[in-house]
Amino acid sequence: MTFEKLWGDLLPVGRYGPTGGYRRYSWTAADAECRAWFVEEATRRGLTVETDRNGNLWAWWGAPGPGAVVTGSHLDSVPDGGAFDGPLGVVSALAAIDLLRARGARPVRPLAVAVFVEEEGARFGVPCLGSRLLTGAISPERARGLRDADGVTLAEAVAAYGLDPDALGPDTERLRSIGVFVELHVEQGRGLVDLGAPVGVASSIWPHGRWRFDFTGEANHAGTTRLEDRRDPMLTFANTVLAARKKARLAGALATVGKVHVEPNGTNAIPSAVHAWLDARAPDEETLRAVVGEIVQAARERAARDGTGFAETCESYTPVVEFAGDLRDRLAGVLGGAPVLPTGAGHDAGVLAAEVPTAMLFVRNPTGVSHAPAEHAELPDCLAGVAALAAVLEDLGCR
Ligand code: HGY
Ligand code: MN
Ligand code: MN
Ligand code: MN
């Protein structure tokens, strides 16, 4: 019941009418509403809420301190994302605390629910920005200068919500206080459907990254410029997308171009520039580096042929994550032999795993669709996720 109430209250926030998906971008009104919802629900439960120097929220059951058992996820979304990616982990964390309390369990170690900002990187381009800042995986100088589509810097965006941009950066004491981090997340594939299980434990995350590709050419008239006289960056872009798909297929990797800006974006003008973003992922780092290298090479060759310009910038890179084996096995054991499975999706847990013992729980997603409005998990599976998280938290830090 508490899960349904929490879920129902958060559900309308940031819903985008035309698609039915969510636009909960960090440091916007929708995000502020999500954060206010969290603060209210945590406070209602007697948890002590604090905002850290990077804007991540922490709600403590008992006094904050070292050796803490921390769970949580994020509330921001991709453009027109689903309801579950992120929020399921936050709602389940609060519901798990309710469940633990209802059965008389009490924490013997500090226990916290964390909400990380800008996990998707939908606004400022770098995913897991809140956890990267916390751990020092991104420098505060670089983070402050990141710009959104309107040219607003992260420094300006956080300042507008009362956070001191000069305070952004590694939070060593807080990081060292985390004894263990467990993130519950909707599965973003059909692994658990195939295994016939409502809940699973993560083994690893594929290495992945984002590269910005800038194709430049010469704007000119669509009706009067002979094909052989054109320097059309759209042509180079289009061929690069085809090359990316082919190279990824041959390498057993994944390559996606889901975001593109065309300048000046007129129907009857050859574009002057095309800016595109490549998301690439692979089972191992060698394959990832090789496939991105091949895509970049294909773009360069095509640009030379088209008389266009091409430049690439790596905007974020996340190495392969292997979750701690002993912790993973402990969780699977607590859950009566829950299946263990890998994922190609990135998470704050993946960033934290480099610093503290970290584990993840996945909840079955019937179609496997994610980062889209159709993302889903059935209520009985969500409740199984809450029960699993409660069992894990109890095992790790309650009596
Ligand atoms: O893009 C991702 O992998 C994620 O869901 N943040
Ligand atoms: Mn996501
Ligand atoms: Mn997520
Ligand atoms: Mn531009």
Does residue 56 have a known ligand-binding role?
no
Are 89 and 73 a contacting pair, CB within 8 Å?
yes
Does residue 210 have a known ligand-binding role?
yes
Q: Which residues surround ligand 3, an ion (CB under 5 A)?
A: 85-86
The structure tokens 């409502």 sit at 198
Q: Give alpha helix (H) positions in the chain.
A: 2-10, 29-44, 87-102, 129-135, 140-145, 154-160, 172-177, 191-195, 233-251, 285-306, 325-334, 348-352, 379-397
CA distance 243 to 238: 9
Q: Which residues surround ligand 2, an ion (CB under 5 A)?
A: 85
The verdict on the CB of residue 120 being under 6 Å from ligand 1 is yes
285-306 and 233-251 helices, crossing angle to 10°: 150
The verdict on the CB of residue 348 being under 6 Å from ligand 1 is no
CA distance 142 to 254: 27
Q: Give the phi and the psi of residue 390 in degrees, each rounded to 5.
A: -60, -45
Amino acid at 334: V
Token pair, residue 378, equals 């059935």
Nearest CA owner, ligand 1 atom 4:
346
Which residue ranges form the domains of the chain, and what is each CATH number?
2-206+320-397 (3.40.630.10), 208-318 (3.30.70.360)
CA distance 6 to 307: 56
pLDDT < 70 regions, the chain: 1
Distance of CA 212 from the midpoint of ligand 4 (Å):
11
Does residue 221 have a known ligand-binding role?
no
Distance of CA 278 from the midpoint of ligand 4 (Å):
16
Distance of CA 86 from the midpoint of ligand 3 (Å):
4
Amino acid at 355: E
Q: pTM of the predicted model, to two decimals?
A: 0.97
SS3 92: helix
Closest ligand by atom to 75 CA: 3
DSSP-assigned states of every residue in 239-297 = HHHHHHHHHHHHHT-EEEEEEEEEES--TTEE-SEEEEEEEEE-SSHHHHHHHHHHHHH
What pLDDT digit, counting tens, does each position of 250-277 carry?
999 999 999 999 999 999 999 999 999 9
Amino acid at 86: G
Cα Rg, the chain, nearest whole Å = 22
Q: What is the pLDDT of residue 339?
A: 98
Does residue 54 have a known ligand-binding role?
no
Q: How far is CA 347 from CA 119, 160, 224, 231, 267, in A?
A: 7, 26, 50, 40, 39
Distance of CA 121 from the midpoint of ligand 1 (Å):
9
Token pair, residue 12, equals 């309308």
Does residue 376 have a known ligand-binding role?
no
Q: Which atom of ligand 1 lies at the shortest distance from residue 127's CA? A: 6
The verdict on the CB of residue 232 being under 6 Å from ligand 1 is no
Q: What is the pLDDT of residue 399?
A: 82
Which of 343, 294, 284 shows the shortest CA–CA distance to 319? 284
The verdict on the CB of residue 345 being under 6 Å from ligand 1 is yes
What pLDDT digit, counting tens, does each position of 116-170 carry?
999 999 999 999 999 999 999 999 999 999 999 999 999 999 999 999 999 999 9
Mutate to test the pocket of ligand 1, among 78, 210, 320 (most ligand atoms within 8 A of CB): 78
Cis status of the peptide bond prior to 264, with omega within 30 of 0:
yes
The verdict on the CB of residue 127 being under 6 Å from ligand 1 is yes
Distance of CA 73 from the midpoint of ligand 1 (Å):
12
Q: What is the pLDDT of residue 88?
A: 98
Residues 6+ apart with CB under 8 A from 300: 310
Closest ligand by atom to 209 CA: 1
ipTM score: 0.89
Region label for 270, one of left (φ > 0), alpha (ψ between -120 and 50) or beta (otherwise): beta
Q: Which atom of ligand 1 lies at the shortest distance from residue 119's CA? A: 6
